Amino acid sequence: MERVAGDSGQGVASRYNPLDPEYAGRIQEVFAAAHREAPVFFSPLYNVWVVTRYDDIWTVLKDPTRYSSSLSTNVAAKDAPEVIAILKEGWGQLSTLVTCDPPAHNRYRGLINKAFTPRRVSERTDFIRSTANRLVDRFIDKGETDLIWKYAYPLPMTIIASILGVGDGDLDRFKKWSDDLVARLSFDLPKERLLECARSLVDFQRYFDGLLTEREKNPRDDMLTDLLNARLEGAAPLNRGEMLSMIQQVLVAGNETTTSLIGNMMYLLLEHRERWEALCADPSLVAGTVEEALRMESPVQGLFRIATEDVELGGARIAKGAQLQLLYAAGNRDEAEFAAAGEFQMRRDNAASHLAFGGGVHFCLGASLARLEARIALETLIERIPEIRLVADRQPRRIAHFFMRGFEHLAVEWSGVR
Ligand code: HEM
């Protein structure tokens, strides 16, 4: 029977609450119930249609005309006047790249592709490896560490900072900006915190405005210089506000996501330690393990679209103007696409067709960087600390966020040292 608003999978909807601390342990059950009972359901709590089937998610991704990205990362209400007043001291909050649709998106994506190139990623390989080893050097003699804070967090942060040309002395500020700009994307932040995050955004913009001005005078072989020089035939070059908005997206999109990937992956491996042992015995499984971790424990569980006209999707009728959440994580556990979808399989042949990086015109700009970092992070631990295990009596703590999935802390220990 066709479902319409008002009869829209309430049973499943009542179980969908990413901000409930219990929800994190129940995603397999909720996703399976949605696939079975209401693959597209309406969540009255969050006022959003949730799309859970792999094929339905692709239908939306392939159709940016009918499904707009104008609020793709945002379910929160509009900024309060006090927040807007702070943002006015900087360049405001421009809509570029991830929050805009073709044809404007084509210009932004084309221009940033000139700066964030495969070369910029691959030339970082040695630096990623040396950074991973340097981080391990700092804790290896202690026999235990918090893998998130000492490894999964500083690794991508250091790499993105270096790609963006941030000096070592500014890393602490850079970390704060990154945390605050990600925090802005969740629900239920207290007002004081919202104001703090807005101030961070303005600080961040001023800092990078300074770096861009410096690069104009003294060009370098780096991403910022490439961004300044990026040109596309028939398209206007980026203005300063647009550049800052794109740099902001690289910073926000590239840090916590990759931290979560490394943390989620290590938890999947160590929670069933025979998986870790299998990987140490055959490191050729590393690339497949990264893909399977992205599929099973997607760091970005789902992002948003707006219906630009009345649509029917997965048996639900959705009105023009309604918001949809594309639950990539649920698509990644859809049995119709992935056999035994709830099982972690390092040798799954189609793992890489997951939706963890989205798809279509907004496919993740940093996917190759994230994959490279995760592989090197894993290889370094296999080589340096094969004895690593979870600390039995310390429960890992998950981050509280509407659409990010990862750990805040992950205590690990080992005995041998290399
Ligand atoms: C495991 C790590 C990562 C995950 C899971 C992830 C996930 C995603 C997803 C799901 C999207 C699609 C957005 C949508 O559907 O609207 C996306 C887009 C994007 N990602 Fe990533 N990302 C990761 C790492 C990175 C890194 C390292 C960068 C840094 C360059 C980055 C930069 C971006 C940008 C700029 C976009 C917007 C692209 C566009 O709209 O054209 N991401 N990412």
pLDDT at 95: 86
Residue 8 has pLDDT above 70, yes or no: no
* Mutational test site, ligand 1, from 227, 259, 365, max ligand atoms within 8 Å of CB: 365
Ligand 1 center to 40 CA (angstroms): 24
The reply to whether omega before 103 is within 30° of 0 (cis) is: yes
List of E strands, 287-414: 303-307, 311-313, 316-318, 323-326, 389-390, 397-398, 407-409, 411-413
Q: What are 246-256's pLDDT values in tens digits?
A: 999 998 888 89
pLDDT(2) > 70? no
Neighbours of 22 (CB within 10 A): 7
Whether residue 412 contacts residue 144, with contact meaning beta carbons closer than 8 Å, is answered with yes
Residue nearest to atom 12 of ligand 1 (CA): 358
Q: Is 300 in the pocket of ligand 1 (CB under 6 A)?
A: yes
Contact 37, 12 (CB under 8 A): yes
Please identify, by atom number, the ligand 1 atom nearest to the C-alpha of residue 363. 12
The partner residues of 323 in beta bridges, in order of sequence, read 306
**Atom 38, ligand 1: residue with shortest CA distance:** 362
Helices and strands per DSSP (H, E), number in the chain: 18, 12
Q: Inform me whether the pLDDT recorded for 96 exceeds 70.
A: yes
- For a pLDDT cut of 90, what percent of the chain falls above it? 80
DSSP state of 137: H
Nearest-atom index, ligand 1, CA of 305: 16
Ligand 1 within 6 A of CB of 257: yes
Q: Residue 321 C-alpha to ligand 1 middle, in angstroms? A: 24
Q: 12: which 2 tokens?
A: 């499943």
User: What distance in angstroms lies between residue 392's CA and the mean position of ligand 1's atoms?
Assistant: 34
Per-residue model confidence (pLDDT) at position 75 = 52
Any ligand 1 atom below 6 A from CB of 358: yes
Each residue's pLDDT tens digit, 265-283:
999 999 999 999 999 999 9
Q: Is 356 in the pocket of ligand 1 (CB under 6 A)?
A: yes
pLDDT tens per residue, range 282-334: 999 999 999 999 999 999 999 999 999 999 999 999 999 999 999 999 999 99
What is the average pLDDT across 224-251? 94
Q: Give the number of other CB atoms < 10 A from CB of residue 1.
A: 5
Question: Among 264, 305, 248, 292, which Cα is nearest to 70's?
Answer: 305
At residue 390 the predicted structure's pLDDT band, cuts being 50, 70 and 90, is very high
Pairing of β 323-326 and β 48-51: parallel
Pick the atom of ligand 1 nearest to 116's CA. Answer: 30
Q: What is the pLDDT of residue 217?
A: 97
The kind and range of the H/E element at 175 are: helix 171-183
Nearest to 236 by CA among 98, 97, 104, 92: 104
Read off the pLDDT of residues 39-65 as tens digits, 9 standing for 90 and up. 999 999 999 999 999 999 999 999 999
Distance CA 418, CA 398 (A): 30
Beta bridge partner(s), residue 304: 325
**Which atom of ligand 1 has the smallest separation from the CA of 300?**
5
From residue 50, how far is each of 13, 63, 209, 314 by CA, in Å?
9, 17, 38, 10
Backbone angles phi, psi at 326, to 5 degrees: -85, 105
The ligand 1 atom at the shortest distance from the C-alpha of residue 355 is 10
Q: Which structural domains are found in the chain, ordered by start? A: 10-413 (1.10.630.10)
Among residues 58, 9, 57, the alpha carbon closest in space to that of 37 is found at 9
Which of 117-121, 189-193, 358-362 is predicted with the least confidence, judged by mean pLDDT?
189-193
Confirm if 66 and 323 have CB atoms less than 8 A apart. no
Measured distance CA(33)–CA(16) in Å, rounded: 10
CB count, 10 Å around CB of 76?
15
CA distance 408 to 325: 24
Measured at the CA of 216, the angle between CA 212 and CA 220, to 5 degrees, comes to: 85
| Closest ligand 1 atom to 326 CA | 15
| Residue nearest to ligand 1 atom 39, measured at CA | 362
